[in-house]
Amino acid sequence: MKKIKFSFNGLLGALTCFLITSCGGGGSEISWTEPSYKDLISEYHDNSIGDLSNPKSGNKAIYIDASDCIVEALKVPAHAAAIRKIAIEFANDTTINLYGLGRNNFGGIGQITGSSSERYALITKPQKDIYAPIDSALILMSTAQNDGILITDFELLTEINGKKSEDLSNYAENSFKKWLNGNNSITLYFAPYTEGGVSKNLYYVFFNHGTISTSSIVTQFEPFAKAQGLTKIEINPNIYKVTNNYGGKTLNGIMPDDPKLTDLKLNDQAGVLNSYYNGFLEQQKPYEAMDFQMDLNTLNENYFKEKKQFLQKLYLNSANTSTYKLKGVDVQVYDVTPDFDHYSHCKEARGHIPKLTKDEGNNLVWDEKTNADPIAVECFESNTQSLKPEYKYAYKAADPLAEYFELNKSIFSQHLQNTPNEIELRTNFHSQFQNASVDNSVAKILRIDLVISDVEPAANPDLDKLKWNSIVNKAMQNESLFNSVTKVIRDITPKGRRLYSYYVKFSAK
């Protein structure tokens, strides 16, 4: 870390600047630690656009519709096994909240408590209830910050003037959209059963928070669902997965004009590539990071000028066409240097928590050491241990840079048509790339994003199974769930979603 040098007079001047102008939120008088790109880039990714930008909090939750549907569905072996599976997996886990839905036994929505055996019994042998508030459960689930399951027939019944009424509106639509707009996904599993002479489905609706992982509830249920033959519909705007295949963690997909050249390999004696991190192979995260000891223009002139190729061997699987059909991918480029530096400053600020003492009036104030610490003075509210809002990191998106890099559209189109489960995404220097337009006077970190540019909703015959004949009015169909799901698929698509990112640092010229 660079030493913070000051004199008494200099300190007074600096403090005056802080008090009057705030010195522009971290000006030249602050000797910030020079951030290590190699050590910080993974952490920066997680907090800016990765998993920590959508952190989990609170407990996972299971909501069980205890009305007629669950009692009747338990007569079907597949549902009895599914309910038993959920009870076995989760009844012993007190960190998972269990809720029953019904007017009589649960007062609307009530938590199922007790010992593991009592919880198991209430799940597998529920007391028959009425008027489950499915809509209220969906609202609660859509505002949570963790995984959830809803087990229901989606038949929302209420009582109006003493008569049973059935809600045929798209009541699930807004809750689904709210959840998906939080960068989450929804998975529906279902199988038929009969109630009151009407053929219906019981649905297991998984609200998956963030990226689905081995710890997600749906991951534990999926093998069982497949074995039982349950139908699956996935509503996931981040449905497409990207992998790399370089042959090892220290190898990369850089493709210079001369393929025999070793200069751009890590630890090569040329020393052009200073560091490299494969986030996908190391942590199963969709990014990688590289640091060149060369400015962008010189790198281009020496290694890529002839063929304009840059990165290869990144593969997209678009074979899942259950809800969307892929049509296009684009490359977007951002200069994240200011945001990376800002993250570094925010992190460093947290290491300068002020020390408090009491003045003559018994008021809490900063001690002498804190008052002599320019970083503490700059980053914290006066005489408190509270960070100023500008030093509580939040990702700030920059405007995209034009004509730096682009996708090899020819390779993409050929693979999309012929091998949709293995589409190579090659990133080239833009056909209009101009050295003169690049500022090489300072080191720069670019983030190169591969982004879905276009999709269309797919024709999925299973969607028609989300309809059933109304029990209240048998001359009508209940299309509430069908309309909710199809509108969500239409309105919230993978278009504009980030598939993969390259962080590339270039030195100053």
Under 8 Å between Cβ of 171 and 153: no
Residue carrying the six token digits 């804190």? 370
Supply the pLDDT for residue 51.
86
Q: How far apart are CA 483 and CA 288, in angstroms?
A: 40
State which residues form the domain around 266: 14-19+33-55+237-350+387-456+492-509
Domain identity same for 298 and 429: yes
pLDDT tens readout for residues 379-433: 999 999 999 999 999 999 999 999 999 999 999 999 999 999 999 999 999 999 9
Tell which of 236, 265, 296 closes a domain: 236
User: Where are the strands (E) in 245-286, listed by range?
Assistant: 273-278
Domain identity same for 261 and 198: no
Classify residue 193 as exposed, middle or buried by CB count within 10 Å of its CB (0-12, 13-18, 19+).
buried
Instruction: Report the domain count for the chain.
Output: 2
Q: How many DSSP H helices and E strands does the chain contain?
A: 16, 24
pLDDT tens readout for residues 72-129: 999 999 999 999 999 988 888 888 999 999 999 999 999 998 888 888 888 888 778 8
Domain identity same for 226 and 258: no
Domain identity same for 223 and 252: no
Query: Which one-letter amino acid corresponds to residue 248?
Result: G
Closest CA to 123 of 77, 78, 86: 86
- pTM as predicted: 0.86
Q: How far apart are CA 226 and CA 446, in angstroms?
A: 42
Which residues 6+ apart lie within 8 Å of 380 measured at CB?
349, 352, 353, 354, 386, 387, 388, 391
Residue 180 tokens, joined: 């998906």
Q: How far apart are CA 438 and CA 286, in angstroms?
A: 27
pLDDT tens readout for residues 453-480: 999 999 899 999 999 998 888 789 999 9
Residue 401 lies in a domain: yes
Q: How far apart are CA 387 and CA 353, in angstroms?
A: 9
Residue 4 lies in a domain: no
CA distances from 497 to 123, 222, 319, 455 (A): 38, 25, 17, 11
Please state the rounded mean pLDDT for residues 249-267: 95
Q: How far apart are CA 137 and CA 134, in angstroms?
A: 5
Residue 387 tokens, joined: 């960070």
Domain identity same for 232 and 257: no
Tell which of 202, 236, 270 closes a domain: 236
pLDDT tens readout for residues 329-341: 999 999 999 999 9
Supply the pLDDT for residue 347.
97
Tell which of 236, 262, 279 closes a domain: 236
- The two beta strands, 324-335 and 364-366, are unpaired
Under 8 Å between Cβ of 367 and 356: yes
Domain identity same for 300 and 431: yes
DSSP secondary structure letter of residue 288: E
| 3-class DSSP assignment, residue 165 | strand
Domain identity same for 221 and 243: no
Domain identity same for 316 and 288: yes
